[in-house]
Amino acid sequence: MGYCLQCGTKTRIEVPKGDNRERAVCPNCHYIHYENPKIICGSLVVSGDKILLCKRAIEPRYGYWTLPAGFMELDETLDQGAARETVEEAQALVINQKLYCIYNLPYLGQVYMLFRGELDGGYGAGDESLECGLYREDQIPWDELAFRSIRRTIEHYYADRKTGHFGLHVETLSRKFED
Amino acid sequence: MGYCLQCGTKTRIEVPKGDNRERAVCPNCHYIHYENPKIICGSLVVSGDKILLCKRAIEPRYGYWTLPAGFMELDETLDQGAARETVEEAQALVINQKLYCIYNLPYLGQVYMLFRGELDGGYGAGDESLECGLYREDQIPWDELAFRSIRRTIEHYYADRKTGHFGLHVETLSRKFED
- Whether residues B94 and B67 fall in one domain: yes
* ipTM computed for the complex: 0.94
- Whether residues B87 and B153 fall in one domain: yes
pLDDT surpassing 70 at residue B179: no
CATH code of the domain covering residue A20: 2.20.70.10
DSSP class of residue B160 equals H
pTM of the shown model: 0.95
Nearest to A67 by CA among A104, A92, A49: A92
User: Residue B90 in 3-state DSSP?
Assistant: helix
Arithmetic mean of pLDDT, B85-107: 98
Domain that holds residue B2: 1-35
> 3-state SS string over A112-163?
EEEEEEEEECCCCCCCCEEEEEEEEHHHCCHHHECCHHHHHHHHHHHHHHHH
pLDDT surpassing 70 at residue A179: no
Q: Does A72 touch chain B (CB under 8 A)?
A: yes
pLDDT surpassing 50 at residue B24: yes
CATH code of the domain covering residue A49: 3.90.79.10
Contacts of A36 in chain B (CB under 8 A): 38-39, 71-74
- Whether residues A26 and A92 fall in one domain: no
- Whether residues A97 and A73 fall in one domain: yes
Contacts of B71 in chain A (CB under 8 A): 34, 36
Number of CB pairs < 8 Å for A and B? Answer: 105
Largest CA distance in chain B: 61
Contacts of B127 in chain A (CB under 8 A): 18
pLDDT at B1: 64
Which ranges of chain B does DSSP label H, i.e. alpha helix?
A: 78-90, 148-163
- Whether residues B83 and B59 fall in one domain: yes
- Whether residues B78 and B164 fall in one domain: yes
Supply φ then ψ for residue A80, to 5 degrees: -65, -40
Categorize the per-residue pLDDT at B4 as very low, low, confident or very high, splitting at 50, 70 and 90. Answer: very high
- Please tell me the distance from the alpha carbon of residue B179 to that of residue B177, in angstroms, as a whole number: 7
- Whether residues B144 and B79 fall in one domain: yes
- Please tell me the distance from the alpha carbon of residue B98 to that of residue B116, in angstroms, as a whole number: 5
Tens of pLDDT along A33-86? 999 999 999 999 999 999 999 999 999 999 999 999 999 999 999 999 999 999
pLDDT at B177: 55
A24: part of which helix (H) or strand (E)?
Answer: strand A23-25
Domain count, chain B: 2
Q: DSSP strand E in chain B: where?
A: 12-14, 23-25, 32-33, 38-47, 50-56, 65-66, 69-71, 93-105, 110-120, 129-136, 169-172
